[in-house]
Amino acid sequence: MPRSIDAAIKLMYVGALIAGVRLILDLIRLISIDLFTAPVFQAAVGAYVTMVFDAIAIALWCWPPRYAARGQSYSRTLASLLLSAGVVFFGLTLISPPEYADIYDVMIGAVELVTGAAAVWQLHLPDSTRYFTRMEAKKS
């Protein structure tokens, strides 16, 4: 396996770790909310929804590396589609009102986006393309 594939796999697992950190920070945010005031109840519901999306993000970060390690070329397509979705969600974070997206949401989102872009870039390098082509030829 080329180093670029190995680096992409490691970057995707780092992305899952970053999403896990965001999940922990959202849990801390939820614990600090006073659930007995009416406007804060909406924030608590929002925090629960965000935590569900964080858990989904962890699973999605761990999905493409399994296929990349096996030499399945659609892992590049999957990673690229997930990066595109990440760009959209990061854009939504940027335009969210301050009570829904803190500075840590923006910072963690930016780090996740850069990590995902670096992983996709590694998957599209020439040696990665040769590896995927060779692995696909072995299957046929």
DSSP strand E in the chain: where?
none
pLDDT at residue 63 is higher than 60? yes
- pLDDT tens for residues 104-134? 888 999 999 999 999 999 999 999 999 999 9
- Residue 104: predicted pLDDT: 84
**How many other CB atoms sit within 10 Å of the CB of residue 44?**
15
Q: What separation, in Å, do the N-terminal and C-terminal C-alpha atoms of the chain show? A: 19
List pLDDT tens digits, range 4-61. Answer: 999 999 999 999 999 999 999 888 877 776 656 656 666 667 778 888 988 999 999 9
Q: How far is CA 28 from CA 23, 32, 118, in A?
A: 9, 6, 29
pLDDT at 102: 79
pLDDT exceeds cutoff 80 at 140: no
Residues whose CB is less than 8 angstroms from the CB of residue 119 and which lie 6 or more positions away in sequence, other chains included: 7, 8, 11, 12, 15, 64, 79, 83
pLDDT digits (tens, 9 = 90+) for 87-97: 998 998 888 87
Of 138 and 113, the one with more pLDDT: 113
